[in-house]
Structure formats: structure tokens, C-alpha cells
Chains A and B, each alone.
Chain A
Amino acid sequence: MIPRRLILLVILTATFLSTRATSAAPGPAVTLDSSAVPLVQKYCAGCHNEKTRKAKFRIDDIQPPTAHRADVTRWEKVLEMVSIGDMPPDDKPQPTRVEREQLIAWIKAEFAKLGKRLDDSAHALPHYANRIDHTSLFSGEHKGPAYTSSRVWRVSPHIYDQMLRDLSLNDFTVPLTKLEGEAFDDYALLYADEATLGTLIQNAKRTAVTLVHGRLVKPRGAGDKKRDARGQRVGARHRAFIDFVKLESTPTQEQMQEAVRYAFDLLLLRSPTDVELERYVAHNLAPNVKAGGPDAGLRGMLTSILISPEYLFRMEIGLGERLPDGRRMLSPNELAYALSYALHDHPIDDLLKAAADGRLKTRRDVEREVRKVLTERKLYRGQIPAARRKETIWPVGKLGMASLANPRMLRFFREFFDYGKAPDVFKDDSRHGGKHNPKSLVLDADWLVLSVLSEDKQVFERLLTTDQYMLGRGNGARHGKNVGYLAVYNLTEPNWVERGPTPMPEGQRAGILTHPAWLVAHSGNFENDPVRRGKWIQERLLGGIVPEIPIGVEAQLPEKPKQTLRQRFEIVNAESCWRCHKKMNPLGNPFEAYDDFGRFRTKHHVTENGHVVASDLEVNRGRNTPSAEPRIAVDTTGYVKGTGDAALDGEVKDAIDLAHRLAKSPRVRQMFIRHMFRFWMGRNETLNDSPTLMAMDKAYTESDGSFSEALVALLTSDSFLYRK
């Protein structure tokens, strides 16, 4: 669910972006005054007429909405169907791209005349970005100029978590929301509101107590490279605060100024301006001290900084050099933060220093500094999901660990593939003999990503196809005792390679999509979920659009225990369902080769009374000797359709076949690039960003699939560097 306030915000942003996109990019000529009714008559009225009324919808008598207001509802439907490309159906004559765009523009213009604001609340959400025509984005016809609107970006839950952790606060809760139900957790459209503020204040107050009365930590030496800028400062004794609290007389103006300066330097990593200094003393510290003495007064002041907008929002206004076309580059200081948070959850001192020394002014500077951070791979403290402290992956060990120096890279993959939510899918463990360990599966998948990243060759392709997994990092030594864990991979202890790639049994796995973590994350409580899996592939890899569940559809599978899931799903073949389900089920069905725990199978198990179940454990529950059981062969066929890529479309044999096909497709690779863009920019791509996306794609392919190269291309692009 999107909070209502967010929707409003999104509308504003979306309108803002869309006007930008059309005004800056000279698209095909759109004649707004000519009626689009003939177009609709030509392409739609063949089925949607008085006689046939296909889908109980007729359009042959439709009039322009300005002429006949009652037709607005019908035009909304037309707009939606034409926008997402669902109509006309594939087997009917198709309008040209120009005609489609004309129709869309005309309907919007008509609505505008009526003063009707379209409900485009979802436009700025990641999944909506797929509506931008893929071919256009990579056609080269859009030359930009690319930029991002000036913005503030609320710190992510991860950054916030890290900030408080760095200030030695333990046992706190992070109230900042994530973007639920979307590809990525953190997006620049998020904000902090009243609901979160209560907790932010509690955290700030407690942090203030820690800063003033907390344990004193021995200052780290200058040679200690593990500490970041903020960490080095807070590790030290806050003599300034201690002295202030101990003051017996009312603190002087100078003493108060000194305390404010120290606090700014400690918490905001900068000095206060004269105005700020004056305000913080006159309106904050001084009255606070007067009300409650130096101790309570100082804590009040620290609390204020810890809930100040600057502490909670990243500033990306564009305060650097101005171009003739009005775009402004991020200032060196803005760049230092933007780049830091692209790679880490806290400011990187090397980048702050580069900014301070005047070495972060130009695109070339940015490239040099980014490459340095990527290759040096300093081990900053960092964690993958702030939400799960126990699973924190600390940079220890050998393989792939250095990659964790840049935790945001791994996080991208976790969120993109979305296998991280495997532990959230509740399973009745007894069906798996008590061996289901979703947290370890997630760590296994993480490790696989890290190992592929450490070689940085054909990263995406390998993640979709590799048949060698990394196993056991999650519970390390426990494997010796917990051999059962390997069963999910169809492996036994002797086949397991402790610290390296473990070959999977032949013909059973291909990359992340067949990894148990992904399969579990995209499954139901009791069974597979071909719809969710298919939707994931359709939206994230093929760039398709799946409408929300239409009103009136009761999305329930019939309870027919004697049928396989696939048989039960046959109800969606009904025309009204199939229009959407054809985009998902054929892509999700090949994964029937695995049960809902991610175990490979070729047959379904069947109980004595004919019930189809996932495992032999369920068949033999409570028996001393397993019974012989009838079985049903698993049907793993499916197909890809409508991608516009001839090599990709067609029947698929099984999940492995599908994964390999996907990995070969340029379109799929470009979708991956588009998701990188969304993750790192915190916003949807527009046609203006076309040069950025193409540069990323080029950097990736020319470097034999280096993820870092694609990332460097993004971080040095106009989209990243310029604001307007």
C-alpha cells in the first residue's frame, strides 16, 4: 500500500517529470487538436462494437470526452490498455508506435481540457518505469540532455541504522519506511512523516544521552583504516561535552558556541554558518540551559541536530557549476555524499577529503575517485539488510569478502532478484523434515553473487546460468552437523566444497532463478507460485507490464487436492483471466521442476488417497516404513512471447532452458541496466536518460560484462552528475 500522502507527492513528481520528458525530447509530432476517434474506430471497434461487445465493452459509439463527458470512463480504459500495450491483442492489426503515442497524447489533452487530473499516483514508482518504451530508450534517437531534478533524498533505513550505530547507540528501532511491494527499498520519493518522527526523537534523545554520558572510547589511531570519517570522530572522548556539562556557572557565549561547533562537526561533518551558530546558541542551547542546566540543555541541542533535516535528508540540489542549458553540476561536497551513499551506508572519508582538497570537481575527478573506491575495496563497516541484524555480513574471510567493502552492490542484487525475503515466507517445516533454513539459503545466494562479482565478468549472464553455487557460508561450521541442509540442493556431504564453488547435480540448476533462496522467496506457504515467479520475470527481465489484479477478480485457486498445481491453475485459461495470466504463468510454470522449498524434482508425490503433495515426507507422515507411492510426472514446459526478440520468444523446455535463453537476450541485459539505474538514481528513468542507459550498456558489453564498468558509467553520467 502506498500512503495517501505519498500518492500526492508522487503525482507532483510524476507530473514534473513527464512535462520535462516531453518538452525536452522532441518526439514524433503529435497533433492534439485532431480527434482520435477514427483511430479507435479503426483498431478497437472491430471487437468492441454493439454486436460482439467483447469483454462487455463497446467503443464504436464513443465520442470525444470534451463532447460527451459520460465517455470519460471509457476513454480511461482505452488509455490504460493502449499505454501498457495490452490492446489490440497480438492477432489483430496493430497501430504504429506514432499512432499509439498520438492516441495517448490526445486523450490526455482532452482530459486536461476537462480539468481532469489523471490518477497517475503510481507513475514515480519503480514498476511504472517499464511503461517507457524500451526500444526508444535504447534507440539512440533521444539525446538528452540528461539530468535529475534538484532534490532532497531521505536517508535510507540502512544509512540511518549505520549513523546511530556509529554513535554507539544499541537496541534501537529504525522507523523509516521502505518502498513496500516494489523492486527497491529506497527511492528518492520517500519521506519521513509524523508516524516516524516519534521514534526518531526517542532515538535522538537516547543518542544524546550516549554522547554526553556514554562510555568513553579510546580514540582510534590515525593508521586505523577501518574507521570511516564519522566513526573516527565519535570513537573519541567528547571532552568538549564533558567539560560543558561540568560547568558550575552559567556557560558563557563562547562556551556555548564552542559546544555547537563541536556538535556540528561531530554529527554533520561540517562547521556551522554564522547564522546557524547564532540561532543554535540563542534559540536552542541558551534557553535549554536556562531551563534545565548544562547537561539537559546540551542534550536538547544535540537532540535537535539529530532530528534536523540535514541529518535525515541527503541534499542534491546541484550547487556546482552551471551549464548554459540551465543544468548545474553537484557541488564537490554534494558529490562526496552522493557517491558515498551510492556505494556505502555512510560518508567515505576519502571522498570527503577529495572534495575538501578540490579533487572532486569534474567528471574526470568523479571517475578517478569512483574507480579508486571500487578497486581499493576498503573494508568499511557495512551491513546488507539493516532489518536483520543477526544476519549482518561482516567483511571477514576470503572469497568475495572484499566486495563487501561496497555493500550497496550486493544489496542491489538482493533487491533486484528479491531473494532476500525468503525467510518471510512461512513454511510448515515438517514437510521438509525440519531442514528448511531460509536464512542460510539467502546467505548462500549472497555468496554466489559475491563470488560472481569478484570476477566481474559476464556478471549478469553468469548469475542467470551458473550451475556452481557457493554453499554454507550461512551456518559455516554447522554444516558438519547439519548435513540435512544440503538436501535442498540434492547434495550430500561428500559433494560439498567448503570454500569454493560447488557443482550442482547435472541439469538441475541454472543461476539465481533456480536457487532455492529465489524459489522460496517467490513461493506461497504451501506451494509454488508460478504467478509471482512469472510476474517477476515479466517485469524485471522482459520489461513487460502486468496490470494490478482487476477489481472483481477473486484471486483464489480452487482447493483440489488431487490435482497438481498446474492443473488447478487451468482455471486462468478462461479468457478474462488469460489476458493477464498469459504474461505470467507460461514464464512461471517451468519452475515446477522445483517444489516450494526449492528442491529439484521430476515427479509429484501422491498420497494414498490421491492427494498431490510436495514431498515423500508428507506421503509417509507417521509411518515407520515408507509406502510405495504413485507419482505424476512434472510438466515444466512454458513459453516466452511478445518480447520483440526473436531469439528469446518461443517454447521453453524447463527452467534451465528458460534461464539460458534469458541470459542471451540483449533486451534482458538492458532491463538489468535499467534496474541498476533505478536503484542508484532512486528514481525512474525517462527518455532523457537514454544516453546514460546506452552508455552503461556499452560499458558493460565492451568490458565483457563488467558490473563495475556499468556502474562507473552510471556514476559519471549526466543523469547522476547534473541537477536542474
Chain B
Amino acid sequence: MFSRREAMKRLGVTGGALALAPFAGHARADAGKDVDQPAPRFVFVVRSNGVLATEIQPEGLDRLVKTRANGGYEKKLHEHTLANRTLHKAMAALEPFKERVTILQGMSGKMCRGSHAAGFGALGAFASQSAIPRLETIDGALAKALGGVFPHLGFTMDNFGTLVTYPRLSALGPKKTLPFYADPMMAYRDLFGTVIQGAARAEVDIDRNVLDFMIDDVKRYQKRLPASQKEKLGHYLEGFESLRLRQKRLEAMKATLAKIAPELNDSYTSQIEIERVKAHFELAGSALIGGLSQVVTIRAEHMSMRLEGLGLGDKTVHGIGHMIEGQKGGNDGGPFADGKGEFATRAVIMDFHMQQIAKLAARLDAVPEGDGTMLDNTVILYLSDHGDRHHSKFYEWPMVAVGNVGKQFKVGRYIQVPGYGSVGHRTIASLYTSLLHAAGHPRDTFGQPDMSLEASIDQTGPLVEWMV
């Protein structure tokens, strides 16, 4: 086991990060909120192929994971401390943060639909099978509530060369899909463009040129219109002006941004998919620390891609999902050539994700804020966009949380709510409701209720089992 100091060393966090203290909490000062209340931050790390209930189970609690077919789920609430237990070996990277980690088991998400991915439902708790979201997702709702220079930042693994995409994952509201950066360089330019020097500076300058030109262009166009129609163009003009204002804000933050901007390295332009994901995590960390955003979603896997960088390039992520140890897994379901079966393969992927999360957590933990660190005002939620497996029926939706957003969540705990259909059972909607409570924007419900659950099971209110 590592100490926290060792962990930071191992993860390459330098002491220099401490110098960031002066602009920690930038976002809150920006929003003019109570200075004593540091800005809450929310990070969603979303993977594919489900998170198996078994693969996040701490040592000694295996008996709690049961299958639906084999006698049904646990009917009672279980809560244990993690202090005297070792995390699952695929989660070893989080050992140093164990007292900040919560394992969340037993929640369902049967209001969702979809095969391979629940689409917007995963973060939205509603049935969504189309490219058009019907409701907001939790990251969208938090972004709207918290605002900021970039209210929501999305990063997604995608094919090399893709700049921005609209994965069916996050939405600001009905029909308002949120964009995700696929290209780390593009994200870097948008977020830290003001500090770029050299050749890469060009695109930033051109963007500014274009904005200036457009402001002039719209004004000229406006002049030709009758008075009643000028207003209409006025809204459009305001859009450009506000983007320009954002750029100016970023320019004003230049000194800060220069300190926290990630150092550009090969990951940003790498053809290897996981390298770009590493860059995404770095960008996310810097954006959070710099106060550019309070809500980040990282889609860390992509169904149709191959994880060459993890040595798993023989199968697509989808193919990996079809590996079911001890069973015929369907298409492409056999083990890898080196004999690596389902669990070993998944462990490699999980380890990669956990290392990135640990690195991010360490960076946030290195920045003092309030009477703790930035990590203390953050929660990083690790989950899958498809419940508990590759072909999930959404009876279970295991998650891992790091951080407690200002002591609002229990940490260092293992929490398993009563299984599907049992008294006291909870859905992912409750968990998302909790996040809104933690953000200071409480609501009773989120998304859509699971209509096949008995009325006696309360689907409203936050996940009190998790909340302090």
C-alpha cells in the first residue's frame, strides 16, 4: 500500500502544483457566491461494456454480489467501511485515496433502454434510443445550474482525426445534445489557446479573426434591415460578442492559464487512442483547477474502436464486451491469443481508467481549497453507459465515486442498496438527484421513474444512503 505522498510522486504530480493555491476557487469568485463555499465540481468518467458488480467488489465482500437468476439480489441495505479492506485489484490505483472512495452497488436503471449503450439515459435516467435527447442529463443539468466560462466540458475517445462529436451521452435539455472534444489539440486550443505559442497559435488567431470579422459582418447586415428585424439579428450578434467576450475572459486569465495549462506532449497528437484519453484527463484536470469549468464528462471508451495502446488491439471494445469467461460469448467472444480471458482483459482496461482517475484526483488534491483541497469539493463518478455488462438489462448499475463535494457524501464506504424490487431499492435517478443536492440545486426527482417498480418503492429524493 502507498501513502498519499508516495502516490503523488508515483503519479508524477510535482510540488509546483501547490503554487496554484491563489487561484483555486476561481470559479466561485467568478460567480460571486459565498467565498466560504468552494465551488462544487463534478466529473463523470463513462466507460463502455458495463461495470461488472464483481469487478469493483472489495476484498471479503464477494458474497454480497448475487445474480438475479441465482436466488435473486441481496434484499437488505449493506454498508461497510473500506478502511480495513483492500480494493479490488483492478482498482489498486485508488488505494491511496481509499478514504475518499465510495463503492456504490445495487442501484438499477431500468427506466433506460438501449443495447450496448443506454444513450442519454445513462446520465439522464430515461429511455433514450434516438440521436435526439428527450430530457436533460445530469451533467447538463449541473452545467446549467453552475455556469462558468465553459459550463460543460466533454471529452470522448474517438477515431484519430475526429475533432468534435456529439456522442449520445450528454444533453442540456430536450433536443440539446452536448458536444464532446475528441481531438485533444482542439480542446487545448479552445481552453488554453491564449497561452499557445508557435505554429499552433495560428488557429487561435484565425478563430479570433473570424469572430471579429463576423461581429462586423452581422452589424453591416443589420443596417440593411428594417427596424423591426434588427432585433432578430441582434440576438445573433450578441452570440458572437459573447464568444468574443469569452475569449477576452480567457485572455484575462492568461497568467493563470499559463500556470495550469497541461504541458503539450505527444499524447495530444498521438494516433494511439488511449494516449488521447490521457490527454483528455489532463485537460479536464487543468480546466477544473483553473476554474474554467465545474462539470466535466469523459467518455473513456468507444465501442467500435480498438484499444491498441493497452495491447488489446485484436478485438474491438465491442468484441471485448462479448468475452464471457466460461461461456460462449457470441461474436468474437473467445479469449485473446495470449490466453487473456474476460476478467483479465477487463482488469487491464479498468486499471487504465483507475490510473487516470487517480492521477486526476491527485492533481486536485494537491491544490488547497477552503479547509481542505480541491478534491474535497469534487466528486468523480466512474460508471458505464450501459449498466453492469455488455448486454445489460439495467437491473444493476455499479459505480465508483471519489470525493465528497464538501463532506456531503459518505466516503471510504461500501454501500449496497437493496436489490431490484426489494423494499428500499434505489435507482440511478436517486443518485443523480443527490448530485443536484450536493450542487446546491436540490430537486425531488430526476429523469424518469422506472414504471415497472412497485409503487411501494420510493423513487423520489436523493440517495440518502450515500449522503451524509
Contacts and interface: CB of A to CB of B under 8 A. Distances in A.
Contact of B235 (A192, A198, A202, A209): A192
Given A194-B238, A291-B209, A387-B132, A283 B216 contact: yes
Contact of B217 (A303, A304, A313): A304
A313 to B, nearest CB: 7
Contacts of A313: 232-233
Interface string B220-250: 0110111011011101101110110000000
A202 B165 CA distance: 10
B206 A428 contact: no
B166 A300 contact: no
A150 B236 contact: no
B253 interface: no
Interface string A592-625: 0000000000000000000000000000000000
A393 B218 CA distance: 36
A37 interface: no
A199 B226 contact: no
Interface residues of A, number: 61
A287 interface: yes
Interface in A172-228: 172-173, 175, 178, 189, 191-199, 201-202, 205-206, 209
Interface string B388-411: 000000000000000000000000
B132 A388 contact: yes
B340 interface: no
A205 B163 contact: yes
A288 interface: yes
A387 to B, nearest CB: 5
* Interface majority SS (helix, strand, loop, mixed), chain B: helix
Contact of A173 (B163, B177, B202, B217): B177
A172 B177 CA distance: 10
Given A173-B179, A283-B213, A388-B130, A150 B226 contact: yes
A197 B206 contact: no
Contacts of A309: 217-218, 221-222, 233, 236
Interface in A295-316: 296-297, 299-300, 303-304, 307-310, 312-313
B134 A424 contact: yes
Nearest to A318: B226
A405 B65 CA distance: 58
Given A292-B203, A309-B236, A9 B231 contact: yes
Contacts of B209: 284, 287-288, 291, 300
A205 B232 CA distance: 24
A299 B224 CA distance: 27
A9 B234 CA distance: 10
A307 B206 CA distance: 15
The winner among B205, B213, B221 for most chain A CB atoms within 10 A is B213
A312 B232 CA distance: 12
Interface string A409-437: 00000000000000110101010000000
A596 to B, nearest CB: 13
A390 B131 CA distance: 9
A151 interface: yes
A5 interface: yes
A303 B132 CA distance: 25
Nearest to B177: A173
Contact of B175 (A9, A12, A307, A387): A387
B206 A300 contact: yes
Given A150-B226, A173-B166, A303-B210, A292 B202 contact: yes
A658 B381 CA distance: 55
B452 interface: yes
A154 interface: yes
B452 A430 contact: yes
A32 interface: no
Nearest to B134: A424
A171 B158 CA distance: 13
B143 interface: no
A307 B225 contact: no
A109 interface: no
Interface string A439-477: 000000000000000000000000000000000000000
A508 interface: no
A13 interface: yes
Contacts of B206: 288, 291-292, 296-297, 299-300
Report whether over half of chain A's contact residues are helix, strand or loop; otherwise say mixed.
helix
Best-surrounded residue of B165, B166, B179, B232 (most CB of chain A within 10 A): B232
Contacts of B229: 150-152
Contacts of B205: 291-292
B310 interface: no
A571 B209 CA distance: 63
A486 B235 CA distance: 49
B204 to A, nearest CB: 9
Interface in B95-129: 126-127
A97 interface: no
A424 B130 CA distance: 10
B131 A389 contact: yes
Interface string A39-61: 00000000000000000000000
Contact of A9 (B232, B242, B452): B232
Contact of B163 (A189, A194, A206, A310): A206
A152 B210 contact: no
Nearest to B111: A426
B210 A300 contact: yes
A525 interface: yes
A16 interface: yes
Contacts of B218: 309
A94 interface: no
A87 interface: no
A572 interface: no
B355 interface: no
B448 interface: yes
Given A173-B166, A292-B205, A193 B235 contact: yes
Nearest to B206: A300
Contacts of A151: 226, 228-229, 232
B120 to A, nearest CB: 13
Contacts of A198: 179, 243
A149 B231 CA distance: 14
30 contacts: A8-B231, A9-B231, A9-B232, A149-B228, A150-B225, A152-B233, A171-B165, A171-B166, A191-B233, A192-B239, A193-B238, A193-B239, A194-B239, A197-B239, A198-B179, A199-B179, A202-B163, A202-B179, A206-B164, A283-B213, A287-B209, A288-B209, A291-B201, A303-B210, A309-B218, A310-B221, A317-B224, A387-B132, A424-B134, A426-B127
Given A193-B238, A296-B206, 18 more contacts: A9-B232, A173-B179, A189-B232, A193-B236, A194-B243, A198-B179, A198-B243, A202-B179, A205-B163, A288-B210, A292-B202, A292-B203, A299-B206, A300-B206, A309-B233, A426-B127, A430-B452, A525-B451
Interface of A: 5, 8-9, 12-13, 16, 149-152, 154, 171-173, 175, 178, 189, 191-199, 201-202, 205-206, 209, 283-284, 287-288, 291-293, 296-297, 299-300, 303-304, 307-310, 312-313, 317, 387-390, 423-424, 426, 428, 430, 525
Closest 6 CB pairs of A and B: A292-B202, A197-B239, A194-B239, A300-B206, A193-B235, A291-B205
